[in-house]
């Protein structure tokens, strides 16, 4: 057993008090027939443009001729609900794996941003239809509060065009509770292994034309691994006003403070020997990723007399990042950034009739601008420790580099759907994107590190412009009442973020043509409703942003030609006495006659991934059942000489909801205490040698929680 550190002996007294407060005074009620407490929704919510039900949202999404889904928060709130992985692990087509049980994760759809295990890329992440991404395309997982979310929309690939999403992966939209949809007061407390504790207080209400919702959340954990402590404090709220039956306005506020220790990666031998240990260099430099985020957004929608709608949105965000990390391959550093981002959007939806056929047309524009002041410092002590081969010391040293990073994006998009018959709908769309990336170096102490003799990373200013028009065409054919097939061919386009340009070399934009076919639907069998969503896709990519060889080292550059293809399958079944849900991914990502990598597999993601849950209903509306997370091997290097072996981990969930709004859960994860790599770093060539690129998955863990809705 690992020795307990002095600072780890914190009692969970706040949790005990929270449970006592929530539980006190409740008599045993009649049991509800719902999975989670039923919430009475004001009928006026149905007239709100921004308080749409999950079922209605899914119906709207399925007007796209491709893979889409909705994740209802009521499903993931039956267990621990602390990270994006907790919310999205069962979403069809989504690969997500936490680095070390924290918010930061590798998240990818169709191989988008597959090399990232932090600060995501390749997806349009939205909150209530307004982009969370920084202007350069990157996004932070910590900006999302799962327990203030009503449901999540997932639009894979070009199916995100209605939001102006033009990347390979598509879009994920977290839709918040509002005062029209939330309970008047809701309390929730979670706690469990590795000193995990999380508390949420939310309130909402409506009076006349005005409604408001607010959620305050505190989460803390020491983490499974050493030097993996994380603390998050979030406030999320929104205020809406129905100015007239046709006009609605809503303002959203987000404040996030997050502090995360970074344990670093291990060799596979280290992982098998002791997965709880941290990388010694990460501890020596006390590596962290901490930031403060302030975000304000506003949406206004006007519904015209003929049913058309016009929506305008605006957002501003400010972030302060403190990031001690050895982010240079040739030396250590402390990264500090101040960034300001803002954006405006305008979208119009029109419904028409021609020759007795109905059509829907969407046109829009989204403009985002970002400005970042970037400073990089050395450490005060860069002396090597004898026998260790690296320097120690955590105090910030002198300024090495200062630069200003500026990004602009303008996306013009349009889409037209035509219902030719009750069975056939065709969809055609186009997006034109214009982007700039500008780096202005103000201070650069280039040369040799006086302590180590290492060459400092060369830097330089640059200014690049990118533009491309991407088409889309597709169709939906209804095979039966509740079954339809779809197909589409679409383009995608993604300029590089500044993280890709860390080597200070301007890069080309990534572009692709993707073909997709699939089917979705549901049938009723006895008392069960069985549903499915299956997609097959093939994407031919040019200039994919990958880590490749550059002389004797590695850097992110543009690969020439690559191929991404695969299968996305989602299955669900619900009956009175049981329910089941599963998500399966088959990933085939490879180079195409690359000068350095040949036709090798692209490293980063397993070729097969399965997540599943089954539950049966016991007396008293108690639900009980197993969970499964399984993945095949994943290559660590593009030369395909080092891999993370496949794994399967099992868990169990037990939960109950009562008619008075009280609910509880107990969840066990990785009950076999398997030692495995949940994700890895990505390099060009490991030469078959074990390297510190493996991030251990959490060991055996048990979590419990209670909630009360009034």
Beta bridge pairs of residue 314: 298, 344
Beta bridge pairs of residue 248: 242, 301
Band of pLDDT at residue 656, cut at 50, 70 and 90: very high
User: Cβ distance 343 to 314 under 8 Å?
Assistant: yes
**C-alpha distances in Å from residue 209, one per residue of 136, 148, 177, 421, 612:** 38, 22, 17, 40, 42
Burial class of 526 by CB neighbour count within 10 A (0 to 12, 13 to 18, 19+): exposed
pLDDT, residue 8, reads: 38
- Of residues 332, 447, 455, 443, the one with CA closest to residue 396: 332
Decide if pLDDT at 27 tops 90.
Answer: no
pLDDT, residue 456, reads: 56
Beta bridge pairs of residue 529: 524, 574
| DSSP code, position 117 | S
The three-state secondary structure class of 283 is helix
For residue 28, give every residue at least 6 positions away whose Cβ sits within 8 Å of its Cβ, in sequence order, or none.
none
Burial class of 500 by CB neighbour count within 10 A (0 to 12, 13 to 18, 19+): buried
Other CB atoms within a 10 A radius of the CB of residue 246 amount to 13
- Of residues 518, 650, 535, the one with CA closest to residue 587: 535
Decide if pLDDT at 658 tops 90.
Answer: yes
Structural domains of the chain sorted by starting position, each given as residue range(s) with its CATH number in brackets: 6-449+460-709 (2.40.170.20)
* Encoded tokens for 405: 């990073």
Please report where in the chains the tokens 């103000």 appear, as a residue.
442
Residues 52 and 3: their CA atoms lie apart, in Å, by 50
Decide if pLDDT at 465 tops 70.
Answer: yes
Decide if pLDDT at 120 tops 60.
Answer: yes
pLDDT, residue 2, reads: 36
Please report where in the chains the tokens 């197993």 appear, as a residue.
626
- Of residues 182, 152, 187, the one with CA closest to residue 71: 152
User: Cβ distance 692 to 683 under 8 Å?
Assistant: no
Decide if pLDDT at 653 tops 80.
Answer: yes
DSSP letter string over 211-251? EEEEEEEEEEE--SSTT--EEEEEEEEEEEEEEETTEEEEE
pLDDT, residue 14, reads: 42
Decide if pLDDT at 549 tops 80.
Answer: no
Stretch 35-57: mean pLDDT: 64
pLDDT, residue 438, reads: 93
- Of residues 104, 14, 38, 178, the one with CA closest to residue 621: 38
Which of the residue ranges 23-37, 431-445, 623-637 would you say has the lowest mean pLDDT? 23-37
Decide if pLDDT at 346 tops 90.
Answer: yes
Which of the residue ranges 87-96, 498-507, 609-618 would you say has the lowest mean pLDDT? 498-507
Stretch 295-321: mean pLDDT: 96
Q: Where are the beta strands (DSSP E) in 445-552?
A: 462-480, 483-494, 510-525, 528-542, 545-550
């Amino acid at each position: 057993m690992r020795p307990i550190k002095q600072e780890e002996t914190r009692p969970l007294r706040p949790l005990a008090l929270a449970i006592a407060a929530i539980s006190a005074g409740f008599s045993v009620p009649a049991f509800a027939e719902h999975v989670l407490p039923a919430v009475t929704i004001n009928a006026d919510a149905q007239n709100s443009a921004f308080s749409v039900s999950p079922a209605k949202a899914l119906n709207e999404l399925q007007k796209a001729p491709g893979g889409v889904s909705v994740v209802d928060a009521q499903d993931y709130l039956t267990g621990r609900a602390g990270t994006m992985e907790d919310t999205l692990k069962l979403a069809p087509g989504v690969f997500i794996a936490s680095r070390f049980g924290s918010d930061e994760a590798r998240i990818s759809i169709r191989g988008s941003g597959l090399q990232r295990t932090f600060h995501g890329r390749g997806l349009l992440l939205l909150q209530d239809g307004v982009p969370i991404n920084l202007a350069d395309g990157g996004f932070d997982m910590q900006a999302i509060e799962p327990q203030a979310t009503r449901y999540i929309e997932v639009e894979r690939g070009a199916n995100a065009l209605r939001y102006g999403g033009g990347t390979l992966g598509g879009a994920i939209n977290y839709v918040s509770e509002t005062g029209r949809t939330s309970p008047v007061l809701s309390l929730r407390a979670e706690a469990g292994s590795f000193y995990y504790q999380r508390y949420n207080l939310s309130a909402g209400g409506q009076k006349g034309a005005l409604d408001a919702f607010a959620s305050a959340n505190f989460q803390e954990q020491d983490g499974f691994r050493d030097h993996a402590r994380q603390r998050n404090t979030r406030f999320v709220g929104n205020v809406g006003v129905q100015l007239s039956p046709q006009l609605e306005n809503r303002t959203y506020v987000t404040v996030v403070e997050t502090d995360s220790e970074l344990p670093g990666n291990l060799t596979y031998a280290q992982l098998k020997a002791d997965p709880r240990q941290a990388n010694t260099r990460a501890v020596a430099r006390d590596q962290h990723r901490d930031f403060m985020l302030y975000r304000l957004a506003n949406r206004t929608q006007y519904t015209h007399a003929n049913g058309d709608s016009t929506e305008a949105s605006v957002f501003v965000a400010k972030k302060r990042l403190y990031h001690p990390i050895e982010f240079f391959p040739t030396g250590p550093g402390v990264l500090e950034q101040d960034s300001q981002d803002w954006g405006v959007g305008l979208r119009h939806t029109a419904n028409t009739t021609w020759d007795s056929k109905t059509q829907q047309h969407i046109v829009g524009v989204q403009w985002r601008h970002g400005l970042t002041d970037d400073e990089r410092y050395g450490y005060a002590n860069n002396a090597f420790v004898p026998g260790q081969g690296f320097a120690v010391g955590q105090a910030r040293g002198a300024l090495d580099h200062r630069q200003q990073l500026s990004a602009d994006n303008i996306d013009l998009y349009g889409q037209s759907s035509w219902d030719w018959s009750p069975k056939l709908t065709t969809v055609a769309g186009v997006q034109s994107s214009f982007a700039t990336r500008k780096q202005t170096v103000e201070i650069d102490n280039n040369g040799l590190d006086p302590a180590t003799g290492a060459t400092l990373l060369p830097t330089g200013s640059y200014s690049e412009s990118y533009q491309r028009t991407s088409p889309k065409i597709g169709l939906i054919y209804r095979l039966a009442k509740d079954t339809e097939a779809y197909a589409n061919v679409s383009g995608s386009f993604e300029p590089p973020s500044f993280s890709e340009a860390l080597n200070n070399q301007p890069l080309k934009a990534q572009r692709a043509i993707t073909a997709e076919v699939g089917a979705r639907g549901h049938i009723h069998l006895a008392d069960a409703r069985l549903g499915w969503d299956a997609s097959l896709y093939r994407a031919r990519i040019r200039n994919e942003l990958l880590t490749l060889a550059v002389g004797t080292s590695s850097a992110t550059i543009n690969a020439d030609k690559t191929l991404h293809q695969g299968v996305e399958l989602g299955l669900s079944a619900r009956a009175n006495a049981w329910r089941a849900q599963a998500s399966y991914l088959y990933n085939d990502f490879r180079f195409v006659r690359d000068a350095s990598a040949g036709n090798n597999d692209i490293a980063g993601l397993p070729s097969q991934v399965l997540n599943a849950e089954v539950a049966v209903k016991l007396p008293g509306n108690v639900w009980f059942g197993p969970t499964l997370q399984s993945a095949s091997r994943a290559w660590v290097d593009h030369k395909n000489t080092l891999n993370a072996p496949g794994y399967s981990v099992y868990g169990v969930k037990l939960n109950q909801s009562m008619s008075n709004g009280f609910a509880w859960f107990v969840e066990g994860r990785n009950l076999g205490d398997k030692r495995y790599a949940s994700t890895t770093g990505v390099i060009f060539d490991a030469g078959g040698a074990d390297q510190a690129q493996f991030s251990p998955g959490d060991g055996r863990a048990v979590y419990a929680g209670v909630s009360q809705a009034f």
